[in-house]
C-alpha cells in the first residue's frame, strides 16, 4: 500500500489520509474510537467508490493510526475539527459522511456544523453520546471518584487486548456534544445500520437516534446476527447496498 498523504492543520498537527478523485457526491469515511482508516469497512468503501469513479476520502483522526497526537489527548470535539478540515481542504461539492461507531457521532456533529457540505449520512453502529451513556454510565462510584481525582482511569479491554485509559477530558468534552437529549436538526437523508448482537453500543441506540432526528428521510436497518464491527463479508455487502440507496436518494 502506498504511504498516506498528510494534511497539516493550523495548530501544526497532521492528518494522514488517502484520497480518490471522482464524481460527486463524494464519500468521506470516519473510523471509530481506537480504530483507524485501514479497517475493512473503509477499504471496502474506497474500492467501491473507485469502481464507480466516485470521490472518496478516508483519514485517521487525531491520535489514531498515522495521524499525529497522543490517543489519550483526543476528544470528540477534536475529531469533529479534523473532519471539518478534511471537508474544507480535501473535498469539493456535496459529500456523504459515513461514520462507524464514535465516527458516526462525529459525522452527525459535522453534519450539523457544516450542513451545506454534507448531503447525506450513513451511520454504522453509531456510538452517539457514547462517553456519557456507555462509558460514564458503566463506571462504579469508586471509578468515577478515581477519574475525578487522577484525571485518568485504567479499564480492562472487553476484547481481551491491552488495558486502556479513559480521561476526564474525554468525558467533559463529550458532555458538550450530547445529541440524544433534544431533537437533532440534521437536514440531509440518513441511513443507519446496527447489529442486534452489538455488545459495545446497544442496538436500541439506533432507534433512539431515528426518533430524535427531525429530517423525515431516514431508515434504520438491524442486522440480527451482526456485532459491533459489522465487518463480515455479508455486513460489508449490506453497507454497500445501503450506501447506494442513500446516494440514489440524494441524486433524485
Centre a 10 Å sphere on the Cβ of residue 216 and count the other Cβ atoms it contains: 7
Give the start-to-end residue ranges of the domains of the chain: 5-128+180-251
Show the cell assigned to 78: 477534536
Cell of residue 175, nine digits: 458532555
d(Cα 69, Cα 15) in Å, to the nearest integer?
10
Q: Collapse the DSSP code of 126 into the 3-class scheme (helix H, G, I; strand E, B; otherwise coil) and give the result.
A: coil
**pLDDT band at residue 192 under the 50/70/90 scheme:** very high
**CA–CA dist 240, 26 (Å, integer):** 14
The model carries a pTM of 0.96
pLDDT tens, position by position, 212-235:
999 999 999 999 999 999 999 999
State the average pLDDT over residues 166-174: 97
Choice among 60, 101, 129, 173 that is catalytic: 101
Can you name the residues that pair with 195 across neighbouring β-strands? 223
**What confidence tens digit (pLDDT) does each residue in 137-167 have?**
999 999 999 999 999 999 887 666 778 889 9
Residue 236 C-beta-side C-alpha neighbours within 13 Å:
13
Q: What's the pLDDT tens digit per position in 29-88?
A: 999 999 999 999 999 999 999 999 999 999 999 999 999 999 999 999 999 999 999 999
Active site residue 68: no
Q: Stretch 1-22: mean pLDDT, rounded?
A: 95
Q: Count CB-CB contacts under 10 A for residue 173.
A: 18
Query: For residue 194, is pLDDT > 80?
Result: yes
pLDDT score recorded for residue 24: 96
pLDDT for 100 beyond 70: yes
Q: Output the CA–CA distances (angstroms, integers) from residue 122 to 76, 98, 168, in the order listed.
A: 18, 5, 29
* pLDDT attached to residue 31: 98
**Average pLDDT for 172-179:** 98
* pLDDT value at residue 60: 98
Indicate which residue of 60, 82, 133, 198 is catalytic: 198
pLDDT of residue 160: 61
Based on the residue annotation, tell me whether 133 is a catalytic residue of this protein: no
Average pLDDT over residues 171-178: 98
Written as one string, the DSSP assignment of 166-183 is EEHHHHHHHHTS--TTS-
Contact 105, 130 (CB under 8 A): yes
Biggest distance spanned by C-alpha atoms of the chain: 54
The H-or-E segment that residue 192 falls in is strand 190-195
Name, in order, each residue with C-beta under 8 angstroms of 81's C-beta and a sequence gap of 6 or more. 9
Tens digits of per-residue pLDDT, 106-122? 999 999 999 999 999 99
* Active-site residue flag, 129: no
> In the predicted model, is pLDDT for residue 239 greater than 90?
yes
Does CATH number 3.40.50.1820 belong to domain 5-128+180-251?
Answer: yes
Amino acid at each position: 500500500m502506498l504511504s498516506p498523504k498528510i494534511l497539516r492543520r493550523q495548530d501544526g498537527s497532521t492528518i494522514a489520509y488517502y484520497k480518490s478523485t471522482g464524481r460527486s457526491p463524494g464519500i468521506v469515511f470516519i473510523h471509530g474510537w481506537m480504530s483507524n482508516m485501514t479497517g475493512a469497512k473503509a477499504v471496502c468503501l474506497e474500492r467501491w467508490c473507485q469502481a464507480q469513479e466516485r470521490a472518496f476520502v478516508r483519514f485517521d483522526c487525531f491520535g489514531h493510526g498515522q495521524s499525529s497526537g497522543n490517543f489519550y489527548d483526543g476528544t470528540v470535539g477534536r475529531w469533529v475539527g479534523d473532519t471539518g478540515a478534511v471537508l474544507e481542504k480535501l473535498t469539493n461539492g456535496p459529500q456523504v459522511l459515513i461514520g462507524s461507531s464514535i465516527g458516526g457521532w462525529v459525522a452527525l456533529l459535522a453534519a450539523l456544523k457544516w450542513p451545506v457540505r454534507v448531503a447525506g449520512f450513513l451511520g454504522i453502529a453509531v456510538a452517539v453520546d457514547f462517553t456519557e451513556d456507555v462509558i460514564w454510565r458503566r463506571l462504579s462510584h469508586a471509578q468515577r471518584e478515581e477519574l475525578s481525582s487522577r484525571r485518568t482511569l485504567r479499564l480492562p479491554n472487553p476484547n481481551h487486548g491491552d488495558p486502556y485509559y479513559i480521561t476526564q477530558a474525554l468525558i467533559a468534552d463529550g458532555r458538550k456534544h450530547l445529541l440524544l437529549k433534544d431533537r437533532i436538526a440534521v437536514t440531509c437523508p440518513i441511513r443507519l445500520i446496527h447489529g442486534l448482537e452489538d455488545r459495545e453500543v446497544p442496538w436500541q441506540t439506533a432507534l433512539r437516534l431515528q426518533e430524535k432526528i427531525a429530517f423525515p428521510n431516514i431508515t434504520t436497518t438491524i442486522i440480527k446476527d451482526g456485532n459491533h464491527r459489522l465487518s463480515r463479508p455479508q455486513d460489508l455487502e449490506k453497507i454497500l447496498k445501503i450506501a447506494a440507496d442513500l446516494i440514489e436518494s440524494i441524486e433524485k
